Amino acid sequence: MSAINPPERLLMGPGPSTVPARVLRALGAPTVGHLDPYYLELMDETRGFLRTLFRTTNDMTLAVSGTGSAGMEASVVNLVERGDEVIVAIAGVFGGRMVDVASRAGATVHTIEAPWGETIEPAQVRDAFESHPAAKWLGIVHAETSTGAHQPLEEISRITHDAGALLLVDAVTSLGGVDLRVDDWAIDACYSGTQKCLSCPPGLSPLTFSPAALEAMDRRTTPVASWYLDVSMLRQYWGEARVYHHTAPINMTYALHEAARAVIEEGLDACHARHRFHHRALRAGLEAIGLEYIPSRSLPVLNAIKVPAGIDEAAVRKGLLSRHGIEIGAGLGPFKGVAWRVGLMGHTARERNVLTFLAALETELGCVSRDFAAGRAISAAAAVYRDGDSA
């Protein structure tokens, strides 16, 4: 049997992001029991850190055992009973996935759609609630990983609550990298993942529920469709009662605790500013060589780039990985074959990584296009860094 010896990669795809050494050290700390006093204290600290990251005072804030998809399923199945009407906004893969989860849980799902690369407009939400006044909640993706589009939420939240409904938000790609205000924006259920802007290995899903969401769960007349993700039981384990539910991933909690602590030490506003700053440098470099962004409202943490006509996008990605050790993402759905997804999340959002990627990309584009002249991307990004304004 061969020993585990993975290659070192610069992870600049849609996730996971590069994990810093301090988080890996935490992951490798001695394992204790899931009811050990040390671990219970660490759970409480982790919950406090997550409240800071979500910008919420919600008591029911925790980390679900599973990736961001588990957070999605936990949010949906706890707030759906068979026959409930819900509205889901689709502008990419993950809005569509939310529809699938809600449908499997027995909901009647009404959809709002926007073209890939675009965002949902408030008027669409208003019209949807006028057409479906019995809808229990609206589900929407804050940062659509498949398109790189950044969805504004404040006006949509107001319309949703004026209609007497709850707001459920996918923040898998935004938590820690993009401004997210659960309390200020009156978000009732919000879930994320550890492997994006928190730069932690995948395996946990930060999740928070408002008091109104918990009240809706308490009014249920049928059991939650998932035993493993039933919040009525999870809240007994994560709360003061400490009633055993399942064996938690102890070492992953160590890693999340350290990753969240790193963001809080940096300062949440400073962390968001860092992501915006390096995005500006990356964008300047890409646009200097004629590459175009697809979304009209682009995320700083996930850059969806249009592949130039005549360029073999898979060959460029393969060259980046095999010759430079850099991973970027391919397009999904309608973007397959016509887009690159370049992540700039968490620990990856650093000047050296931006410049390394741009130099490698110029090299690979030069290999597939004789008309390509190298040097412009690095110069444009370097000009942003010379200005030095990260605000």
The whole-number pLDDT of residue 390 equals: 56
Q: How far apart are CA 370 and CA 367, in angstroms?
A: 7
CA distance 144 to 97: 12
Burial class of residue 389 (count of CB atoms within 10 Å of its CB; 0-12, 13-18, 19+): exposed
* Cβ-based neighbours of 363, under 8 Å, separated by 6 or more: 319, 323, 324, 374
pLDDT at 99 (0 to 100): 98
Residue with token string 């938590």: 175
| Mean pLDDT for the stretch of residues 262-266 | 98
For residues 345 and 302, is the Cβ–Cβ distance under 8 A?
yes
Q: Where in the chain is the domain with CATH 3.40.640.10?
A: 20-265
- pTM above threshold 0.85: yes
* CA dihedral sign of residues 318, 319, 323, 329: negative
* 64-104 per-position pLDDT tens digit: 999 999 999 999 999 999 999 999 999 999 999 999 999 99
Q: Which CATH number fits domain 20-265: 3.90.1150.10, 3.40.50.720, 3.40.640.10, 3.50.50.60?
A: 3.40.640.10
Domain with CATH 3.90.1150.10 in the chain: 268-387
Please tell me the class of the 268-387 domain: alpha beta
For 344, phi and psi rounded to 5 degrees? -135, 70
Confidence category of residue 370, pLDDT binned at 50, 70, 90: low
> What's the whole-number mean pLDDT along residues 234-253?
93
Q: Express each pLDDT in 127-185 by its tens digit.
A: 999 999 999 999 999 999 999 999 999 999 999 999 999 999 999 999 999 999 999 99
* Residues contacting residue 134 through CB under 8 Å, at least 6 positions apart: 85
User: What are the CA-CA distances from residue 201 to residues 117, 260, 341 (Å)?
Assistant: 28, 12, 20
Q: How far apart are CA 223 and CA 81, in angstroms?
A: 8
User: Following DSSP, what letter does each residue of 8-44 receive, concatenated?
Assistant: P-EE-SSSPPPPPHHHHHHHTSPP--TT-HHHHHHHH
Q: How far apart are CA 178 and CA 201, in angstroms?
A: 19
Q: If we measure between CA atoms, which residue out of 131, 204, 206, 122 comes closest to residue 167?
A: 122
Q: Which residue has the tokens 């409202």?
A: 297
